[in-house]
């Protein structure tokens, strides 16, 4: 029997939580509903969910604080988080994404949109990419084993950042607009904003450590991954560029 994806719903309004849970059950998910941060943490500690729907405004600890906490923990750092909130200002969206959310859904939202976004983050968690090995300078990504190394040291990145890095490395030295990255990495059917790319690039750079400088910001254009970095030599045949 196929295992149903586990969805942890953290929502303090029972009517909304129940509506979400019913729709999830009817569409092939296994939801667990909790109403505050403490209960959410107990569920996460007991069984790691496949995705978390997290309300921003919760009794006690806020959803944003929980997201930051889970992103810092090795066990939970790669679990997709969708922030649910009535706060629709751009600054609020940026704050939610910076806290560690993979997506941001403003209330009220349609059931179909919510389901589409859940499916999208689950696809990104296990991206369907070619099981190849690609190298740029001393940065090596092995898609078959889901490993990234820099100068022989293994690096840990989240699922979305892995897919983003894989695309950038496969197309090294080219400048990619945010819109292009959204289409190629997230898919052109996903309803997210270009600001999301900036947040995940920032998160990817943090995970890359000394290799972070290989991802260049091209003002007014987008991003480029280059073989130039201060601690490596270029792989044979790779070209170098300057910022």
For the stretch 159-210, pLDDT in tens is 889 999 999 999 999 999 998 898 788 764 455 677 889 999 999 999 999 9
Which candidate, 127, 155, 128, places its Cα nearest to that of 141? 155
Question: Residue 99 — very low, low, confident or very high, per pLDDT cuts 50/70/90?
Answer: confident
187: left (phi over 0), alpha (psi -120 to 50) or beta: left
Tell whether the model's pLDDT for residue 243 goes beyond 90. Answer: no
Task: At 152, give phi and psi (nearest 5°).
Answer: 85, -5
pLDDT of residue 101: 87
Alpha-carbon distances, residue 223 vs 66, 133, 169, 218, 236 (angstroms): 30, 22, 12, 6, 23
For residue 97 the two structure tokens come to 């994404």
pLDDT of residue 233: 38
pLDDT of residue 1: 46
Domains of the chain: 6-125 (3.40.50.2300), 133-225 (1.10.10.10)
The stretch 218-236 carries a mean pLDDT of: 69
What share of the chain in percent tops pLDDT 70?
Answer: 86
Rg (the chain; Cα; Å): 19
Which candidate, 157, 146, 161, places its Cα nearest to that of 197? 161
pLDDT of residue 88: 67
Number of Cβ within 10 Å of residue 91's Cβ equals 8
Q: Which residues have a Cβ under 8 Å from the Cβ of 44 and sit 6 or more positions away?
A: 8, 52, 70, 76, 79
């Amino acid at each position: 029997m196929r295992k149903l994806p586990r969805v942890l719903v953290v929502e303090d309004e029972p009517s909304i939580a129940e509506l979400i849970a019913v729709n999830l059950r009817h569409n092939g998910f296994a939801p667990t509903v909790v109403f505050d941060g403490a209960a959410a943490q107990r569920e996460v500690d007991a069984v790691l969910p496949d995705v978390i729907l997290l309300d921003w405004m919760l009794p006690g600890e806020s959803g944003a604080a929980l997201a930051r906490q889970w992103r810092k923990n090795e066990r939970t750092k790669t679990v997709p988080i969708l922030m649910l909130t009535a706060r629709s200002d751009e600054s609020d969206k940026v704050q939610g994404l910076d806290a560690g959310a993979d997506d941001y859904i403003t209330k009220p939202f349609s059931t179909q949109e919510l389901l589409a976004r859940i499916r999208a983050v689950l696809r990104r968690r296990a991206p369907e990419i070619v099981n190849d090995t690609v190298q740029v300078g001393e940065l090596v990504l092995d898609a078959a084993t889901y490993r990234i190394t820099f100068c022989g040291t293994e690096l840990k990145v989240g699922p979305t950042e892995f897919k983003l890095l894989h695309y950038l490395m496969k197309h090294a030295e080219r400048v990619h607009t945010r819109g292009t990255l959204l289409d190629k990495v997230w898919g052109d059917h996903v309803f997210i904003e270009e600001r999301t790319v900036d947040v995940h690039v920032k998160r990817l750079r943090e995970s890359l450590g000394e290799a972070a400088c290989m991802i260049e910001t091209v003002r007014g254009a987008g991003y480029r991954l280059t073989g130039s970095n201060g601690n490596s030599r270029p792989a044979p045949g790779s070209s170098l560029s300057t910022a």
